[in-house]
Chains A and B, each alone.
Chain A
Amino acid sequence: MWIIKRDLLLAIRRQSDVLTTLFFFVIVVSLFPLSVGPEMNMLRAMAPGVVWVAALLASMLSLNRMFSNDYIDGTLEQMLLSPQSLSLLVLGKAFAHWLVTGIPLVIMAPILGIQYDLPAEALLVLTITLLLGTPVLSLIGAIGAALTLGLRGGSVLVSLLVLPLYIPVLIFGAGAVEANMAGIGFDAHLSLLGAFLLASLALAPWATASSLRVSLE
């Protein structure tokens, strides 16, 4: 769809936005081994949680920009008045947001995981959970971004609104990696993550579209 193409084109013209998210993620994840010291067992135990929390915060950083630029220059008005379905447009924007902020995190995560001495299989599981989980972050985040559009202090509000909703993804994302390292199956965790993804694919675009209509009234 052309809206995905447009958002990617804008991201290429403004690379700094994309790079800040990625560097934030890399730095936060790297700070922990530096600060708690080279205790291998402890690092291994905390790795999944740290990587996941950093991913949540990093994807949160860029949420505000999802709609605010379009709001300021009037493109969002035109989207609301488009004969195409607003939910589909929102889905396209959330997908573009994920391609720009989620995918780089998924690619970086296994490299960063090496700092925590994670075994190869755990690295693979970590990548899979991020691959399933980060689209959920973009989709749920879109609702928060739409609700706080045009408000002063919107960026703080968006984290208060959205972070609680991220908790299930965080628990099962990090849980799958821990389960794998403990030698028990992680299929259930992955299935639940997949279920979150499907549910948010079905509901989030619609909720975001309604929030946008309210915000622009």
Chain B
Amino acid sequence: MLQGINLACVRGDRELFKDVSFSLETGSLMQVRGPNGSGKTSLLRMLCGLSSPAAGEIRWHGETIHPLNENYFSAMTYIGHLSGTKDDLTVIENLRISSALSGYEISENQASEALENLGLGGREQLSVKVLSQGQRRRVGLARLLTCKTSLWILDEPLVALDAMAVKFIQGLLERHLQQDGMVVMTTHQEIDIGAASIVQLQLA
């Protein structure tokens, strides 16, 4: 269970938000909404532990996330705006390395299977610098297929994807939620995901 208690975020002199509280049970999805600059990405970076909140605390199964660090990180996958892919490496090398970094070493076969599922079959040996924006995004998202974490924190996962890929990702999130996973995501698009409960968090 992920809880946020009276969170506040300050950027420079400006207070982006304060008194944001929520509680997310297993099997549920939280959609963070709000106009540009309302602090959605800042909130997600706080939730994954990259930055600390100006006030309030974040709890994972009842414990504050900061002292947990590595224990928390092994239960969480964060995919941000930056895809975390290396231009000089091939698609499959990128996936295998990013999986190893998040603690799951995968074989060549597992990696190609994940890429095949995301519609990158036959492009495994291409270097990432020749891919389009949407294809890069898919390489980044392929990590969701290889990780076994329960909490997914996704910042605009659907941006730059075509209709087919959006459908596939929605199906993937649905399956993850059915298996008692949790998802926190921001998106400007209407999402069509069947979940036990969907929490909407509106930032000013």
Identify the A interface with B (CB < 8 A): 2-3, 6, 9-10, 13-14, 69, 72-75, 77-85, 216-217
Contact = CB atoms under 8 A, between A and B. Distances in A.
B86 interface: yes
Given A9-B93, A75-B84, A81 B100 contact: no
Contact of B85 (A6, A73, A81, A83): A73
Contacts of A2: 97, 100, 105
A14 B88 contact: yes
A81 B103 CA distance: 10
Interface in B33-75: 48-52, 70-71, 73-74
Contact of B50 (A73, A80, A84): A80
Contacts of A14: 88
Nearest to A11: B88
Given A80-B50, A216-B50, A217-B52, A75 B86 contact: yes
Interface of B: 48-52, 70-71, 73-74, 76, 78, 80-89, 93, 97-98, 100-103, 105
Contacts of A78: 78, 84, 98, 101-102
A75 B51 CA distance: 16
Which 6 interchain pairs have the tightest Cβ spacing? A74-B82, A83-B74, A74-B84, A13-B88, A83-B103, A83-B73
A83 B70 contact: yes
Contacts of A217: 50-52
A3 to B, nearest CB: 8
A77 B102 contact: no
A213 to B, nearest CB: 9
Contacts of B50: 77, 80-81, 216-217
Nearest to B149: A83
Given A81-B78, A83-B70, A83-B73, A73 B100 contact: no
Given A80-B50, A217-B51, A74 B80 contact: yes
A216 B48 CA distance: 13
A77 B100 contact: no
26 contacts: A2-B100, A6-B89, A6-B97, A9-B89, A10-B88, A73-B87, A74-B80, A74-B81, A74-B83, A74-B84, A75-B84, A75-B85, A75-B86, A77-B78, A78-B84, A80-B50, A81-B49, A81-B50, A81-B102, A83-B70, A83-B74, A83-B102, A83-B103, A84-B70, A84-B101, A84-B103
A25 B185 CA distance: 49
Nearest to A85: B70
B84 A73 contact: yes
Given A9-B89, A14-B88, A74-B84, 18 more contacts: A2-B97, A2-B105, A6-B97, A10-B89, A13-B88, A72-B82, A73-B83, A73-B84, A74-B83, A75-B98, A77-B80, A77-B84, A78-B98, A80-B50, A81-B73, A82-B73, A83-B71, A83-B73
B82 A73 contact: yes
A113 to B, nearest CB: 35
Contacts of A13: 88-89
B52 to A, nearest CB: 7
A78 B78 CA distance: 8
Contact of A79 (B74, B82, B101): B101
B184 to A, nearest CB: 14
Nearest to B102: A82
A10 B85 CA distance: 12
Contacts of A69: 86
A170 to B, nearest CB: 34
Max count, chain B CB within 10 A of own CB: residue among A13, A72, A73, A83:
A83
Contacts of A74: 80-84
Contacts of A84: 70, 101, 103
Contacts of A10: 86, 88-89
